[in-house]
């Protein structure tokens, strides 16, 4: 099971206890912590989709988005149709490595420039859903994603039979 260190801290006082130390304590208590993943969202920013149109030249279903980043508008191409105009979305700009390890680059897709990536929950390591873009409930274009969702630590744990 996946346990968020931040969620755990809502039930147990973890002041002064690092995620690694918490994992060690859980293991001593009989909950085997198989891995500890630090999810750093500090390089991801909030964007607001201004426009979404079907990619006119792609053989595969793709969408061309105009995304407001606060100080500029960029064009980003995505394969998921759920980031409609008005949506607040997590954006990884070229040169950014998203939490799942993918490096974002400037691209040209079927004649259209793509300057960044709209991120799914899976790419941000915030869940297993990769079927669509992660839609945010709040945020301001150009702000770091951490202003809406804090970076966090995820513990993969399994209860032992003892």
* Choice among 9-13, 20-24, 56-60 with the minimum mean pLDDT: 56-60
3-class SS of residue 113:
strand
pLDDT at 162: 57
**Beta strand segments in the chain, E:** 2-4, 31-39, 45-54, 63-68, 73-78, 88-92, 106-109, 112-115, 117-118, 152-159
Which residues sit opposite 64 in a β-bridge?
53, 77
Q: What is the mean pLDDT of residues 128-155?
A: 91
% of the chain residues with pLDDT over 70: 98
Is pLDDT larger for residue 127 or for residue 92? 92
Residue 45, judged by CB atoms within 10 A of its CB (0-12, 13-18, 19+), counts as buried
pLDDT in tens, 65-91: 999 999 999 999 999 999 999 999 999
pLDDT at 44: 96
pTM: 0.81
């Amino acid at each position: 099971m996946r346990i968020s260190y931040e969620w755990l801290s809502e039930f147990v006082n973890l002041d002064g206890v690092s995620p690694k130390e918490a994992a060690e304590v859980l293991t001593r208590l009989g909950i085997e912590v198989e891995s500890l993943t630090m999810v750093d969202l500090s390089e991801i920013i909030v964007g607001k989709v201004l426009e979404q149109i079907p990619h006119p030249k792609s053989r595969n279903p793709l969408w061309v988005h105009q995304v407001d980043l606060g100080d500029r508008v960029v064009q980003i191409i995505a394969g998921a149709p759920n980031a409609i105009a008005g949506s607040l979305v997590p954006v990884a700009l070229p040169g950014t490595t998203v939490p799942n390890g993918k490096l974002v680059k400037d691209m040209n897709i079927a004649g259209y420039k793509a300057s960044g990536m709209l991120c799914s929950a899976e790419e941000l390591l915030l869940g297993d859903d990769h079927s669509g873009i992660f839609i945010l409930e709040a945020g301001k274009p150009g702000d770091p994603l951490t202003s809406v969702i804090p970076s966090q630590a995820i513990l993969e744990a399994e209860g032992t039979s003892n």
